Amino acid sequence: MTSFLYTSIQNIKYFGPAAIKKLLRLKIKTVGDLLYHFPFRYDDFSNFTPIATLEPNTQVTIRGTVVSVKNINIFKRRMTLTEAIIEDGAGDNIKSIWFNQPYLLDLFKAGRQVNLSGKVALNKKHLCLSNPAYEFVNKDPLHTGRLVPVYPETYGLTSRWLRLCVKPLLRFVDKIPDILPDELKKIYRLPGLNYALSQIHFPDTIEKSETAKRRFAFEELFILQLFMGMERLKVATKNAPMVNFDERAAKKFVASLSFDLTEDQKKSAWQIIQDMQKNQPMNRLLEGDVGSGKTIVAAMAAYLVALSGQQAAFMAPTEILSRQHYEKIWPLFNQFGFETGLMTSSEAKISGNAVPKKELIKKIEAGKIPVVIGTHSLIQKNVAFKNLALVVIDEQHRFGVNQRAKLLRQDNGLIPHLLSMSATPIPRTLGLTVWGDLDLSLIKKLPKGRKNIITKIVPPAKREWAYDFIKGEIKKGRQAFVICPLVEESEKLPVKAATKEYERLQKEIFPELKIGLLHGRLKPKEKEKIMAAFLNKEIDILAATSVVEVGIDIPNATVMIIEGADRFGLASLYQFRGRVGRGEHQSYCFLLTDSPSTATNERLRAIETAQSGFDLAEKDLELRGPGDFTGVRQSGLPDLAIASLTNLELVQETREAAKKILSESPSLKNYPLLAAKVAAFQSRIHFE
Ligand code: ADP
Ligand code: MG
């Protein structure tokens, strides 16, 4: 019965066409999908309460005999009311009512034994049960008289209905072979599949449901770890181009900079250099706070690649950011006689001059451009590097595994070294799982002389004060950002909201100042124009949606107001704030919030006091759960796996377990059940 989990529900006689259609709405196609559709909580209907002791507004389960039943038509309200009187063993009785289910009349035959679970209501001084769950007494109750599973009820599918779907399948679970090898179950004290499936759906006790849940959390993280482990093994069998290290030239490069590198920058650069000299592909993440100077470390690595006669691709998530990197980097390389290319979907440049895109591509393919900076149009099929040795991905949390995989396929046979950079620290648990086996370089200290950004939560009453503060700064010659509130995804109108905010600022608050508007719908050229105008101080205040989140450098901007700050994740807020405080002047960030909730304020206070993005990311994970980390929620990971990503112990155990299994059987040949599950997993996930 290997295939039972993968059996289509269409082949189960029990499910008619209507049921199949309903289940498909939940993306349930196979028996396995249904059995792995877990309840998210349980109602405890396990204890019967004597009718004599019922109290209003309590959840109860009673057991009794049907004394009488009738339907009442309420014509005015076009409603049918079914009324049954139930009497328990002690001879007490209670009325129970249901709305618009006239067929109940036929079920509630006098003399039948029934369990009812629900809330006790007080109706005209009499206690009654309103719309309770009912179940006629049998050996094996589903909806009453036990711990009753409650499922996520989407698309109008009720828990009652889902229970009826799941229950009959559980009779066959002892025929399903367990995918977890026995030795793992022993080491990590996990229950078997059959037991766990029964207990997660219809637990005998809450403790047993917890044990079952732990097993499935283990299973799902374990599959994820196996997947990551196998990917890793694939890469490990390939060679990387070795990069020559010329120490004297490296020193000359460092000496040419207008500042001294910090200790952390030096250390990171050194780690990268050592990796690149090997023929194993580097997979290193350079983590450093906003403004910590990651770009120059990556630029140095690219420079060494160029010196060694190879090529480097430097990718950023947006055109603006690519251009900003380009403008900084090309003159640096130019002084050493290297040409630097810029390639985005809208333009192509070589050493500062615009060129036809075709020409740039040709030169890249001929290996004449050692360093190319650009957006992901760099990894499109039509660009083939001659000898790509290094790929740098800036703001890596925005690039998914897929894009990375594309890049890695680029070079025939050889896999380039990969350096990713992020200011959003990846919490340790996520680093170990979703992003696999990364080596880390940390830049912990900012360059000398940076000032802290003064950050304050501003309640609605003080809004005017914040606006006056902006006016004062602008009078001093500074500039400001206003970050528009995040609108609910479902509204899909961030542009409209930003436009409204922009108009309000321009007409009502700052009529005498020049305001610009930046949002994601603008064409890249328009965005560039606005950013250029802001940089040239033709605009005093830039109202922007979250598109300013990454990278942009405007040293003269000293104030930022973040509207609806409570709607953003801490990591995003932290990134926004990093847009100010990039010059010599004292900078300020005001978090505007209308939310009086203390949880919100706790979150915002974390950023008020945070001096490092690292503490903050851990805090964010703790407060909001990993679902809010970019890419995780959309990844297609099972909910239970996502919820368990914060469980460091489980993450480590599953990682250990995956290593053990893969060391015995790297392609899972000895574990066909696991191999099938990993394949199913792979087809389902998509890291954005
Ligand atoms: P991030 O790490 O956020 O990408 P950047 O690389 O953009 O930061 O660096 C921010 C600014 O700091 C840049 O203007 C850069 O030239 C400057 N910078 C980098 N390293 C140093 C340093 N060691 N001393 C002083 N300024 C530096
Ligand atoms: Mg950067």
DSSP result, 92-148: -EEEEEEES-TTHHHHS-TT-EEEEEEEEEEETTEEEEES-EEEE--SS-SSSSSEE
Does the structure show a pLDDT above 60 at 244?
yes
CB-ligand 1 contact for 296 (6 Å cutoff): yes
In a 3-state reduction of DSSP, which class is residue 426? coil
Cβ–ligand 1 distance for 299 under 6 Å, the answer: no
Query: Higher confidence at residue 197 or residue 680?
Result: 197
Query: Which superfamily is assigned to 454-610 in CATH?
Result: P-loop containing nucleotide triphosphate hydrolases (3.40.50.300)
Interval between CA 514 and ligand 2 midpoint (Å): 28
Q: pTM of the prediction?
A: 0.65
**Segment among 72-86, 363-377, 583-597, 649-663 with least mean pLDDT:** 583-597
Average pLDDT value for residue range 665-679 = 91
Q: What is the pLDDT of residues 111-164, one digit of tens each?
A: 999 989 889 998 888 899 999 989 888 777 788 778 889 887 666 778 888 998
For a ligand 1 pocket test, name from 258, 259, 322 the mutation site with the most ligand atoms within 8 angstroms of its C-beta: 259
Distance from Cα 524 to the centre of ligand 2, integer Å: 19
Contacts for 184 with CB less than 8 Å, ≥ 6 apart:
190, 222, 657, 660, 661
Query: Distance between CA atoms of 89 and 63, rounded to whole angstroms?
Result: 8
Mean pLDDT of 476-494: 73
Is the CB of 262 within 6 Å of ligand 1? Answer: yes
Which of 29-33, 463-467, 633-637 reaches the highest mean pLDDT? 463-467
Cα separation of 666 and 479, whole Å? 57
Fold held by 247-277+293-422 = Rossmann fold (3.40.50)
Nearest residue to 299 via CA among 248, 372, 361: 372
CA 352 to centroid of ligand 2, rounded, Å: 20
Count Cβ neighbours within 10 Å for each residue of 416-436 and write b for 16 or more, e otherwise: bbbbbbbbbbbbebbbbbbbb
Our answer on whether the CB atom of 292 is closer than 6 Å to any ligand 1 atom is yes
Report, as an integer, the average pLDDT of 582-587.
84
Dihedral sign from CA coordinates of 650, 610, 322, 500: positive
Average pLDDT over residues 472-484: 93
CA 653 – CA 613 distance, rounded (Å): 28
Number of neighbours of residue 584 by Cβ within 10 angstroms: 10
How far apart, in whole angstroms, are the C-alpha atoms of residue 305 and residue 314? 12
Could you tell me which residues come within 8 angstroms of residue 637 by beta carbon, excluding any fewer than 6 positions away?
220, 224, 434, 685
Q: What is the mean pLDDT of residues 539-552?
A: 77
d(CA 103, CA 115): 18
Write out the E strands in 351-509. 353-354, 371-374, 388-393, 417-422, 439-443, 454-458, 479-483
Domains 47-145 and 247-277+293-422 share a fold: no
Question: Which residue stretches of 558-671 are H helix?
Answer: 570-577, 598-609, 613-624, 639-644, 648-664
Q: Which ligand is nearest to the CA of 265?
A: 1
Q: Which residue carries 């950002």 as its tokens?
A: 481
Query: What would the mean pLDDT of 626-644 be, rounded to a whole number?
Result: 56
Quick check: 345 pLDDT over 50? yes
Show the tokens assigned to 262: 């910090």
Q: How far apart are CA 225 and CA 655, in angstroms?
A: 6
Most confident of the following: 25-39, 208-222, 410-424, 629-643: 208-222
pLDDT at position 514 is 95
- 313 Cβ neighbours under 8 A, 6+ residues apart: 372, 374, 378, 379, 385, 388, 390, 391, 392, 407, 416
Mean predicted confidence (pLDDT) in 460-472 = 92
Residue 614 and residue 368: Cα distance in Å, rounded? Answer: 40
Domain ranges of the chain: 1-43+157-176, 47-145, 247-277+293-422, 454-610
Q: Measured between alpha carbons, how far is 655 from 671 in angstroms, rounded to an integer?
A: 17
Altogether, the residues listed in the chain come to a count of: 688
pLDDT of amino acid 688: 34
Domain 47-145: give its CATH code.
Answer: 2.40.50.140
Summary mean pLDDT of the chain = 84
Beta strands 283-288 and 439-443 are parallel
Residue 214's pLDDT is: 93
| Mutation to probe ligand 1, out of 266, 267, 295, 445 (largest number of atoms < 8 A from CB) | 295
Mutating to test ligand 1, I would choose from 253, 292, 323, 398 the residue with most ligand atoms within 8 A of its C-beta, which is 292
Q: Which two tokens stand for residue 87?
A: 């009497």
> H-helix or E-strand containing 31?
helix 31-35
In the reported structure, the alpha carbon of residue 23 is separated from the centroid of ligand 2 by a whole-number distance in angstroms of 46
